[in-house]
A and B are shown apart, each in its own frame.
Chain A
Amino acid sequence: MERSTKKAYTLLSPSLLLFLVFLAVPVIMIIIISFTKNDGYGGIIYEFTLQNYKIALESLYLKIFLRSVYWSFLITVTCLLIGYPFAYFISHIKKYKNLLLFLVIIPFWTNLLVRTYAWIILLQNDGVINGFLKAMGFIEGPIQMLYTPGAILVGLIYGFLPFMVLPLYTSIEKLDRSYLEAAEDLGASPIKTFFNVTVPLTMPGIITGCFITFIPALGIFVVPDMLGGSKAIMIGNIIRDDFQINMNWQLGASVSVLIMTVVLASVFIFLKLSNNKKAF
């Protein structure tokens, strides 16, 4: 028993090292910086202060943070509502299954930036959609789609859908069909079978999918930047601006630490709750 643990650690050591250097160290640096002072030109003065957190908790930041949470939530729920039927469909067909899975995976191979550019081409005033509508005679002038909150939502949902679909697909695929037959045998219609058996038994996939959609959605800045213009900013944009434009690393770091704390706490509480219920 002990030997196999040792062996496991040995085998894991390269990835543990990677994890330490590229994740733990930067996070620790961020935490340290969030408690230091700014010299006014972007330099770091290593003196302890809570001033950054005071600013980070001001109502403007808080409002943007809450809006980001709300949007991430909206995106997660929408991805779930679109992703679940889709994942269910893929795992239940025989033909074209691999092709569809392939289509889900393809976006992972292209940078999100590039894919978001594609949305600009589609949505802009002289873009594909407006051009098409005009050619068909449905509209006279262009509809403003780019640089609206709607554009950000569409772009983010598009971007995160694969993250939702893959874990859902995995857990639906793993679901033993005999459970569904048992439910039907006991008099449950397909809809009742779905809500009483399929959903609870694929809950691990639902939870994983929601987490890996919600968490990166909360921190993202590329998509709102490109599709939302300067009007609609999310908390990710604030942090990016503090680091790159305002040269105020301390403020960016403290906002980051706050978000991390909130996210970790909510993940922890959620896991604790679902563990206590002994659902699985």
Chain B
Amino acid sequence: MSDNNMVKIKDVVKSFGQHQAVKNVSIDIKQGEFLTLLGPSGCGKTTTLRMIAGFESITSGEIVIDGKSVASQHPYERDVNTVFQSYALFPHMSVEENIAFGLKMKKYSKAKIKEEVERVLNLVQLEGYGKRKPDQLSGGQNQRVAIARALVNNPKVLLLDEPLGALDLKLRKQMQIELKHLQQKLGMTFIYVTHDQEEALTMSDRIAVMNDGHLEQLGTSREIYETPKTKFVADFIGETNLFEGEVVDSSEINAVASVEGNQIPIKPIDGLSPNKDITLTIRPELTWIEGSEPSNGKPSLQGKYVENIYVGSVQKVIVALPSGKNIVINESPMNASDLSPGDEVNVCWDVDKAGVLTS
């Protein structure tokens, strides 16, 4: 390996008949990286993963694993393993036999297999469960067995297709942390598929956001969340308020756009020019409410207070703008507001905290 890329996905296309499920996706994945493919249902995440594993042929483009193009390799010849969404544990084999399967295929000695099975059972904290059948385990335990069965082969890349999808919220959160720790401990390259953006943000080194078969944005969790490059990413990751607008004036140091009928200062990013259409993305947690218009030139929008929704850690304040559009503001439940519906309020934010999207 000249560079330290373990997997290179180069301009990969996958067509099913007329339908393109994956469109010109290119991603380089580093050795030891935790990369997540994130996107809504049907966007081509599983298809991409299956092409890496070898279960789907590539219509055009190339996939390179550890420096070798894998186009001609069958799944059983590739040095990658998959944790399937449904786990696909062999129901006629015990936990031990399931885990030993890969090593048996590689003709390891009996003693070595036993030792390795013990090791991974330990790793996934399932000591003593080896003799059970998959139908005698809980969902979470089966999930660990599926991970152990893949890990024991020590693959160059581990592929995980929504492995936590079937678990309840609490167990899922716990397993997210455990999986992440496991990955760091082993230094193994993980390619992880999920449609849960919170899960992606929690676990990933980098996230590839996919939409309708193409790659929307590739970046670290922080980049994806804080500086989304497209409207889709801004909308899909976390909660946000999106406003269409038009640039009125722009220079190196400041810019103004017309948004909801108001002239509002925006972040002066590259490529702005008067009359250009933009989208402003304002995160609820980066806004606040003031009774009167801020005097310090901070951007703000005036509207009428509608209601207050308590969701535990925060309360969501809904404000209706004159256009009828709602804007959502997160406030700490401590700041119990004494507003009543219909009150005039100003929704404010810092200029550089609102994303400006030009596409």
Residues of A within 8 A of B (CB): 176, 178-179, 181-189, 192, 196-197, 200-201, 278-280
Contacts and interface: CB of A to CB of B under 8 A. Distances in A.
Interface string B10-30: 000000000000000000000
30 contacts: A176-B88, A178-B84, A178-B88, A179-B88, A179-B90, A181-B55, A182-B88, A182-B89, A184-B75, A185-B76, A185-B80, A185-B81, A185-B82, A186-B76, A186-B101, A186-B102, A186-B149, A187-B76, A187-B102, A187-B105, A187-B106, A189-B76, A196-B101, A197-B90, A200-B92, A201-B90, A201-B91, A278-B133, A280-B91, A280-B92
B48 interface: no
A184 B94 CA distance: 18
Contacts of B89: 182
A179 B105 CA distance: 15
A82 to B, nearest CB: 25
A186 B153 contact: yes
Contact of A279 (B55, B80, B92, B106): B92
Contacts of B325: none
Contacts of A200: 92
B116 to A, nearest CB: 13
Nearest to A200: B92
Interface in B67-102: 74-76, 80-82, 84, 86, 88-92, 101-102
B183 to A, nearest CB: 19
Nearest to A279: B92
Interface of B: 53, 55, 74-76, 80-82, 84, 86, 88-92, 101-102, 105-106, 133, 149-150, 153
Contacts of A187: 76, 102, 105-106, 153
A165 to B, nearest CB: 23
A6 to B, nearest CB: 30
A181 B75 contact: yes
A176 to B, nearest CB: 7
A266 to B, nearest CB: 24
Given A182-B89, A183-B90, A201-B90, 5 more contacts: A184-B74, A185-B82, A187-B105, A201-B91, A278-B133
A62 B268 CA distance: 100
Contacts of A279: 92
- Nearest first, the 5 closest Cβ-Cβ pairs linking A and B are A186-B102, A182-B88, A187-B105, A178-B88, A184-B75
A182 B80 CA distance: 12
A196 B102 CA distance: 12
Contacts of B81: 185-186
Contact of B105 (A178, A192, A201): A192
A278 B134 CA distance: 13
A201 B91 CA distance: 8
B39 to A, nearest CB: 22
Nearest to B77: A187
Given A186-B81, A186-B105, A187-B105, A181 B90 contact: no
A183 B91 CA distance: 12
Nearest to B84: A178
B88 A201 contact: no
Nearest to A189: B76
Contacts of B105: 186-188, 192
B101 A188 contact: yes
Contacts of B86: 176, 178
A105 B102 CA distance: 40
Contacts of A178: 84, 86, 88
Nearest to A192: B105
Q: Determine which residue in B76, B133, B153 has the highest number of CB atoms from chain A within 10 A of its CB, and name it.
A: B76
Nearest to B100: A186
Contacts of A186: 76, 81, 101-102, 105, 149-150, 153
Contacts of A185: 53, 75-76, 80-82, 150
A200 B101 CA distance: 14
B353 to A, nearest CB: 45
A176 B91 CA distance: 11
A183 B55 CA distance: 12
Contacts of A197: 90
A196 to B, nearest CB: 7
Nearest to A178: B88
A278 to B, nearest CB: 8
Q: Determine which residue in A184, A187, A189, A197 has the highest number of CB atoms from chain B within 10 A of its CB, and name it.
A: A187
A182 B76 contact: no
Contacts of B75: 181, 184-185
Q: Determine which residue in B80, B92, B106 has the highest number of CB atoms from chain A within 10 A of its CB, and name it.
A: B92
Nearest to A186: B102
Contacts of A184: 55, 74-76
A183 B105 CA distance: 9
A189 B105 CA distance: 9
